[in-house]
Structures are given as C-alpha cells and as structure tokens.
Amino acid sequence: MYQRREITTQERLQQEQYCQRVRALIAHRPHYALVDTYGCQQNESDSEILRGWLVQCGYELTGSEEKADLIAVNTCAVREHAEKRVLGNVGALAHNKAKNPELLVCVGGCMTQQETMRERIRRSYRVVDLVFGPHELWQFPQLLLETMERRGRRGAKSRLIAAAPSEGVVAEGLPRQRDNQVKAWLSIMNGCDNFCSYCIVPYVRGRERSRRPEDVLAEARELIRLGYKDITLLGQNVNSYGKGLEEDTDFPALLAALDAIPGDYVLRFMTSHPKDATEKLFRVMAESEHCAHHIHLPLQSGSDRILRQMNRRYDRAGYLEKVAAARAAMPDLVLTTDIIVGFPGETEADFADTLSLVEQVGYDAMFTFIYSPRTGTPAAAMPDPVSRAEKQVWFDRLVQTANRISAEKHAAYVGRTVRVLVDGATGQEPYDLSSRTKGGRLVHLAGDPALVGQFLDVKITDSTTWALYGQIE
C-alpha cells in the first residue's frame, strides 16, 4: 500500500536555502544554464520546475550549449529510441566539457530511475556530474550544491549518482519558469498504477498520487489571473484522479470545479485511460464552458487478444462503446490516440483488427509506435517472433491509413469558420502565426504577432494531413 508522502513547507524552505548557497558559489560572474527535455508533457512540465530552481539558484537560462555552465538533460525511458538519443547527446557533451572544464552536466528524468541505466551512466558516461530521479526534483538545489562541493574530489566521490528507488512524493509550491505565455501545463497527479505489460512508466514514475483539489484549483486561478488562455491538465491517467485522497472527488468533479473559474480560457487534459473514461466525464465536458471537446484516448491495439496481453482491461467492443458515448455527448469531438505495432506475439490477424478499428473510429490524429521492449516489464519476457522488418511493414501501413484519415478530417474543415486561440508567432512568412482550434487542431494564419493570446474567428482556406490554414475574418 502506497504511503502518501507530502513534502512539508519546511522541507521546501530548506531547499530555498540551498539555492542561496549555490547562488553564493556562482556569484562572481554570470552563470548560464540550459535544460534539454525529452519525452512527454509531464517531462516538459518537470523541466519548467527545473528551470525554476536554476533561476532561484542564480543561473540565467540560455539556449546555447557553448554558453552554458550547466546543462541539465531531462530524459524519457518510454522507448529505447529516446534513450539512445539521450545517451548519444550526453556522450557528445564530453567535447563541451573539454572546452569548458567547469561545465556541470546533470541528467534527470525517467531514464535515471532504472538501476541498469544509472550504472551505465556511472561507468561509461564520466562526463555526467549529477544523476537525479524524477522523485528528487523537489530537492534539486540540495543535490546541485552537493555536486558542486564534490567537484575536485577524486574518483567516485567527485560526482553524485542519486535517483534512489522511490514510490514518489507530492510536492507543492516549487518554483516554475513557464516557457510559454499563452499555454500552461497544470500537473494534477503523478505516477501510474495500471501496469500495462509493455510500459516502464509505473516503475519509474512511482505510485499514482493526486494533488489536492484545492491546490490544483488555486494554481488554475493563478494561471488565469496571469492571463494564460490554454491550460492542459496533466497526469499519466487523469481519469483516476482523486484515488487515495481524503476528499471524495474524481476527475469529472475536478474538471467541473475548474470550469467554474470565470475567464476566457480553454481547458484540456492528457492522458485518459479508456477503462476509466466515464459517461459522467463526457457529460461534464459537453456541459462545460471552457473544456475542449478533445479526448486523447490511447487504443494501443484493436485486437482483444493483444489487449488482454497488454493488461489494458478493456476490449474492442468496450472501447467502441466509450467512443460512441463520447460522440453522442459531443458531436464535434476531436479524438486522438496512441497505437503500438508489433507487441510480442502480435499476428497479421491482430494487426488487421487494429487497422479495422482505426478505420471504424476515424481518429483526427494518431501517434503510432513500434513496440520497444523495456527491461523489467512483463512484455519484455514474452516470446516475440515477428521480425523488425515485418513490424515496419505493418507500421508503414498503419501510418498511411492514419494519414489518409487525418487528411480527410482536415479537408472537411475547409470553408468553415472556426474559433481559434493564437498561441505563437512562427516568424515564417506568409503564415507567421500558429493557432489551435478548441479541439486542438493546428491552424496556420497570417497576421500581426500582437494577436498572440487572442481568440479569433478564422475561415479555413486549406488543409494538409498535419494542419489547417486559415484567414482571419
């Protein structure tokens, strides 16, 4: 049974004192820090906290590796591909360190929470000064200070390999340096208890734990007061929000309470597990003023046999029922999904089931992945006779289907007028503004950068597989 552990105010204030001590150590000249992020939105959100701490520690943020005195890499463990990229890029930092021996290299995030990976970094990536896990983000200043104090010592004592095993904590009030003025992440929970058989997340992100509703609401009110227009609630499985809290609450109740905050803004959320997506949720979404009519509902596979092996706890018919209920509540629903191709033991017939379900549902966008074995997960021990080349053929067929459907969905927007939020200036003529529909579709526009942060009605004039093009009315 997970014992909820909340970081106390005193523990947090202690970290602020560590910030002062780091500040004193680097006060003799300006110091620059760069944070490089891999993986999901949760990681993007964690990187904002990392930047928040670094600023409190006296660093200025930079995008330049050459200029940086500290480089922090926030890693992802969900697939091998991401891990290889991280290791390649971290290894290459040896060149930077050769030029600037004072450079501090810190590696955090999900990869470091795996013991074999920590050992690999310890042995083969001597360039790394500090390894810290996602559960230690709240005490980054302390770890950074200790790393600084260890420098100059000999051998193993010269660096700090932390990232101790942990079930996770709940930490409120950490500083945060948000990188966008229109869109904001709002983490409502952390960890995952689902244990899908292919997934490393429950092992690295710890047990599922929700923030208290009053803390989430207070942060949302503050974001809206500061002028943020697009708020994305984050959690590995938002639909099971509230489990383990004293309050009797759930995700639809949280969403309704957030929606009641007055203002001109859009509420989004990621990610939903189909088994916990309820009619109550769809009703709250449909009746809300601010909630985007968009659900990201990862399917993973359309084959009942594979879904069972994946430990997903729904079947094809159950999934389709949820989709039908969501669409009945919200006829304008935008639906997106994740799919894994080539799960161990998947056959041509299983793959055909996935393709047919994809056709039947008609997703607005799909994120498709080739199965990547993750050490320590049940699926990694299952026989996997299908070759990588065969999986690639399936994958390509799925991507083609996904692209065709997205292009069709996008083409249906042409000629319509839709409301969008302008969320960025791209500086690329002629479509120098980027914007999103309430359902989250990307719309390129031509217009004044001063429009960033405004809701506008635009006429859709053109479309591709990936995006829409519009004219301001």
Closer to ligand 5AD by Cβ: residue 377 or 435: 377
| Selected binder of ligand 5AD within 35, 54, 68, 78 (CB under 6 A) | 78
**Binders of ligand 5AD among 359-378, rule CB under 6 A?**
369, 371-372, 374
Binding test (CB under 6 A) with ligand 5AD, winner from 108, 213, 235, 298: 298
Please pick, from the candidates 31, 79, 209, 268, the single residue that binds ligand 5AD as defined by CB under 6 A.
Answer: 79
> From the list ligand 5AD, ligand SF4, none, which binds 77 (C-beta under 5 to 8 Å, kind-based)?
ligand SF4
Q: How far is the CB of 298 from ligand SF4 (least distance, A)?
A: 12
**Contact status: 110 vs ligand SF4 (CB under 6 A):** yes
The full DSSP string for 202-235 is HHHS-S-EEPPHHHHHHHHHHHHHTT--EEEEE-
Least distance to ligand SF4 from the beta carbon of 12, Å?
23
40 binds ligand SF4 (CB under 6 A): yes
Footprint of ligand SF4 on 139-198 (CB under 6 A): none
Q: Which does 209 bind (CB under 5 to 8 A by kind): ligand 5AD, ligand SF4, none?
A: none
Q: Extract the tokens encoding 189.
A: 């929970």
When asked if residue 179 is in the footprint of ligand 5AD (CB under 6 A), the reply is no
The one of ligand SF4, ligand 5AD, none whose footprint includes residue 79, by CB under 5 to 8 A per kind, is ligand 5AD
The residue whose two tokens read 């041509």 is 348
Q: In terms of Cα–Cα distance, which of 268, 232, 265 is closest to 419? A: 265
Task: State the pairing for strand pair 334-341/294-296.
Answer: parallel
Give the shortest CB-34-to-ligand SF4 separation in angstroms. 18
Distance set, CA 457 to CA 229, 267, 364, 365, 436 (Å) = 16, 19, 21, 23, 11
Residue 25: partners with Cβ closer than 8 Å, 6 or more residues away: 145, 148
**How near is the Cβ of 201 to ligand 5AD at its closest, in Å?**
7
By CB under 6 A, residue 72 contacts ligand SF4: no
Q: What is the CA radius of gyration of the chain?
A: 23
Q: Decide: is 386 part of the binding site for ligand 5AD (CB under 6 A).
A: no
50 binds ligand SF4 (CB under 6 A): no
Q: Which of 68, 224, 295, 340 binds ligand 5AD (CB under 6 A)?
A: 340
What one-letter code names the amino acid at 331? P
Binding-site size, ligand 5AD (CB under 6 A): 12
According to CB under 6 A, which one of 77, 144, 277, 366 is a site residue for ligand SF4?
Answer: 77
| Strand pairing class (32-37; 60-61) | parallel
237 and 270 in contact (C-beta within 8 Å)? no
300 binds ligand 5AD (CB under 6 A): yes
Q: Considering CB distances under 5 to 8 angstroms, the limit depending on partner class, which of ligand 5AD, ligand SF4, none binds residue 39?
A: ligand SF4
Residue 298 CA to chain centroid, in angstroms? 14
Q: 42 or 56: whose CB is closer to ligand 5AD? A: 42
Determine contact, residues 438/468, Cβ cutoff 8 Å. Answer: no
Q: Does 205 bind ligand SF4 (CB under 6 A)?
A: yes
Is 216 a binding residue for ligand 5AD by CB under 6 A? The answer is no
Instruction: Note every long-range contact of 381-386, with CB atoms under 8 Å and residues 24 or more positions apart, other chains counting.
Output: 382/197, 382/309, 382/344, 382/345, 383/344, 383/345, 384/344, 384/345, 385/345, 386/342, 386/346, 386/347
Token pair of 169, please?
């904590």
Distance CA 362, CA 343 (A): 22
Report, in Å, the least distance between residue 37 CB and ligand SF4: 9
- 110 contacts which partner out of ligand 5AD, ligand SF4, none, CB within 5 to 8 A by kind? ligand SF4
| Contacts with 111 (C-beta within 8 Å, 6 or more apart), sequence order | 75, 76, 77, 83, 86, 117, 204
* Residue ranges that bind ligand 5AD, judged by CB under 6 A: 78-79, 198-199, 298, 300, 338, 340, 369, 371-372, 374
